[in-house]
Structure 1
């Protein structure tokens, strides 16, 4: 019996052997058949980019499992890496594991050391991905279970044990971790698809509760999103822009360095007020916002627009009015919250960390045209007549020309090249400054 087993038998919890690592399971990504290689490559690239802000690390894909190793091999660094991995979309499960040598002596020592830190019944679940390893999965279960029972005096319980010891055998390494009833080395990831797999979209970000949740749900389906915010400047202050910037920074947990475009929309709203009757003003405004979004999308190569509309939530979100808004543009308008109620949306906003930001004070530009009684069934001929007076197509181009870009960033250590590429955060002076008219494409 080696020293580790002797220490455990004597009643003291031994130091865990091996290297601390993070194992990531891919979930839905692993079910994608012919597209699996492209999906996993995108996921690994996203992980490398996200973890670069935390600590130097190595990311490797092994037999459908991603292994993250800290360069300094410290427990603290691995914990920080695991915390960051928890927000990378496309991952279904995370395991804080030990990487040990592929030998029975090392495996016995690691298994006993892990179980010595826990109490109650146990079970062993082994998976042998490397077929050259001398023991099969079932033989590993029996051998390691017997060693733990003999050394620690623990009882095996195959159904609903207090602790489950997992063993994953790969070529050149074995990974070991525990799941417990009250604690464990595993946690649930966010699932979904890796950001960037499903195209690019421009999210109309209001600063309220709904649109950040809509953005997150599209990210989770593999879309890379950037944001367009309409402020009421110069009719309102710049507070809503600061909220939008804060929301983008909060959502950077899930997508690295999203772009924020800001439109000072107040003068366009004045033109709408003059050209439209009160009941239809909100629909005309929302159609104009979509038109501006489409102009930017064409210039910057986005595949779709995204809004936080939920069916029937407000007057502009009746089925008739949604159809009227969609008719203003040719790009797809995605509405991931369409069938959700407000309670569900608020719950998800809290979970992703945007709810408190959305509750901060700030004038919403939509409130400037809020009617006492809004039209719930917009009529096509009335809207067309108003938009002819407004010259909506030309106005959308003019508004898009004046849009300002900002790059949302979290507090982190930028790379040498990134520090020169970051666009500044919005300031009151930059928001209110005039913008030269110049229609350019990128």
Structure 2
């Protein structure tokens, strides 16, 4: 693929740097194939070409894909969009030029011409990487050539140890790329490379963060929300929908199901075991989620539990909950405190949604004091009275799917 003639600065493109994907040995190609597919899905609204390089993915724009003068704007939008795709650690808005020392030097001069660092005479460095060893200049020779020209042109001082501005040059097989700075990606593994899981999504702060963390570990995550309907309003459903819509930018094609859980909660509440009601409810939620997971071929459940955060999340109670199901229950937040969880929720954009008021289904069960060391046999007695296994199947039968286009944005 040759570089077309154009301005001195060359054509805009986007370079994606991979993280632990490159460490996957013989399975690396499978992970990279999945990642490229996820990138194309995230960029379905743009005309782009996604090409694999050694440890790098390059996104090119066909010459007729953008209006004249809009190339940079489109490239910036694409860079922002792919920064949300797990499996990528760095996103660089780059310039693609011919693989020629003179062309590269002129492009570097043009690249930084209007930068604030040039205006204030900032310290700079040039970092070159020569992936194509046939290129006539070694990396350090290219550094000196480009760096000397920048110094002569703009009078910037060279600082190789702590530069304020770094010009990166990567010489590839067919072209050279130039860029400064970049966006942090999500890291982790491509969504779908580790299987499928079902996340129990409340309207709180923790469960959306747990789902996000599992996406970063390669799981495609579907969502199950338990609503207090008919004893609460639909507010929690709208909130769950908003959370899923926000999280969808990390994986695409997210699915949300809602369980009308109010009547089942009432049955638990009148069972006469007030202190065990919360844990009994959690076990029934897990049983229902397991039934749904089997139907959608999910291989694990995900919850937002954090050890010791509330009474239902003591080690004894967590053990009692796990006993209710055979599927593994993943708890990615188990060792985090609330401050850490809130910080991540803020970063991924779910905190503001989670803090909106709603009638959570858990408000229907609010004993004066909850059991912190629930006994499994006591919980099973409650479940035998409720016929919990059949009840979980009935609840799974009653779920309603919500697609992301069900509500207007």
- Which interval holds the TM-score relative to the shorter structure? over 0.9
1:88-115 deviation line (CA, Å, top 9, x unaligned): 1111111111100111221121122124
SS of equivalent to 1:92: strand
Match of residue 113, structure 2, among 111, 116, 132: 116
> Would the aligned equivalents of 1:279 and 1:374 in 2 still touch at CA under 8 Å?
yes
Query: Scaled by the length of structure 1, what TM-score is found?
Result: 0.86
Between the aligned partners of 1:62 and 1:275, the Cα distance in structure 2 is: 62
Distance, in Å, in 2 between the alignment partners of 1:49 and 1:127 is 30
Report the Cα distance in structure 2 between the residues aligned to 1:122 and 1:383, rounded to whole angstroms. 66
Aligned 8 A contact 1:200 1:302 in 2: yes
How much is the aligned-residue C-alpha RMSD, in angstroms?
1.5
Show CA shifts across 1:250-308 (max 9, x none). Answer: 10121102100100011111221222411111111100000000001111100100001
Structure 2 match to 1:416: none
| Contact 1:167 1:175 survives alignment (8 Å) | yes
Q: 2:24 aligns with which of 7, 24, 32?
A: 32
2:269 pairs with one of 269, 273, 276? 273
Matched, 1:207 2:208: no
| Alpha-carbon distance in 2 for matches of 1:339, 1:158 | 40
Separation in 1 of the partners of 2:353 and 2:264? Answer: 27
1:281-300 matched pairs, under 5 angstroms: 281-300=277-296
Asked if structure 1 preserves the Cα contact closer than 8 Å seen for 2:303 and 2:329, the reply is yes
Residue 39 of structure 2 corresponds to residue 47 of structure 1: yes
Unpaired stretches in structure 1, ≥5 consecutive residues: 1-14, 179-184, 410-423, 427-442
Give the Cα–Cα distance (whole angstroms) in 2 for the partners of residues 335 and 233 of structure 1.
27
Of 34-43 and 165-174, more deviation after overlay is shown by: 34-43
Which residue is equivalent to 1:90?
Answer: 87
Which of 160, 173, 183 does residue 162 from structure 2 map onto? 160
Contact 1:291 1:393 in 2 (8 A): yes
Q: In the alignment, is the contact (CA less than 8 A) between 1:305 and 1:332 conserved in 2? A: yes
**C-alpha separation in 2, matches of 1:120 and 1:370:** 60
Query: Aligned with 2:16: secondary structure?
Result: strand
Q: For the Cα contact (< 8 Å) 2:101–2:142, is it kept in 1? A: no
- CA pair 373-100 structure 1, distance change in 2 beyond 3 A: same
Higher mean C-alpha deviation, range 306-315 or range 71-80: 71-80
> Residue 289 of structure 2 contacts residue 301 of structure 2 at CA under 8 Å; is this kept in 1?
yes
Question: 1:276–1:292: structure 2 CA closer, same or farther, 3 Å change rule?
Answer: farther
- Does structure 1 residue 17 correspond to structure 2 residue 12? no
1: CA distance between counterparts of 2:343 and 2:156? 42
- Please report how far the alpha carbon of residue 16 of structure 1 lies from its aligned counterpart in structure 2 after TM superposition: 5.8
- Matched with 2:3 is none
For the Cα contact (< 8 Å) 2:9–2:108, is it kept in 1? no
Match of 2:244 among 217, 242, 248: 248
SS of 1:23's equivalent? strand
The 1:78/1:314 distance shift into structure 2, 3 A limit, reads same
Give 3-state SS (helix, strand or coil) of 1:294's partner. Answer: helix
* Contact residue 271 and residue 382 of structure 2 kept, 8 A: yes
**Which segment is superposed worse, 314-323 or 400-409?**
400-409
Are the structure 2 counterparts of residues 276 and 228 from structure 1 closer, same or farther at C-alpha, using a change threshold of 3 Å? farther
CA gap 1:16/1:217 in 2 versus in 1, 3 angstroms: farther
- 1:223 matched to 2:219? The reply is yes
Q: Is the 8 A contact 2:8 2:103 kept in 1?
A: no
User: Aligned residue for 2:151?
Assistant: 149
1:212-258 Cα deviation digits (max 9, x unpaired): 01101111111110100000111111111111111100101211021
| Cα distance in structure 1, aligned partners of 2:282 and 2:151 | 68
Q: Deviations over 1:354-373 (max 9, x none)?
A: 11111112111111011111
Match of 2:48 among 47, 57, 81: 57
What is aligned with 1:301?
A: 297
Change in Cα spacing, 1:359 to 1:121, as seen in structure 2 (3 Å) is closer
Measure, in 2, the Cα distance between the counterparts of 1:363 and 1:155. Answer: 60
Contact conserved, 1:102 with 1:174, CA < 8 A, in 2?
yes
CA displacement at 1:151 relative to structure 2: 3.5
Give, in whole Å, the separation in 2 of the partners of 1:66 and 1:320. Answer: 47
Structure 2: unaligned runs, 5 residues or longer: 1-6
Question: For the structure 1 residues 50 and 276, does the alpha-carbon distance in structure 2 shift closer, same or farther, using more than 3 Å as the test?
Answer: farther
Whether the 8 Å CA contact 1:16–1:114 is kept in 2: the answer is no
Matched, 1:66 2:53: no
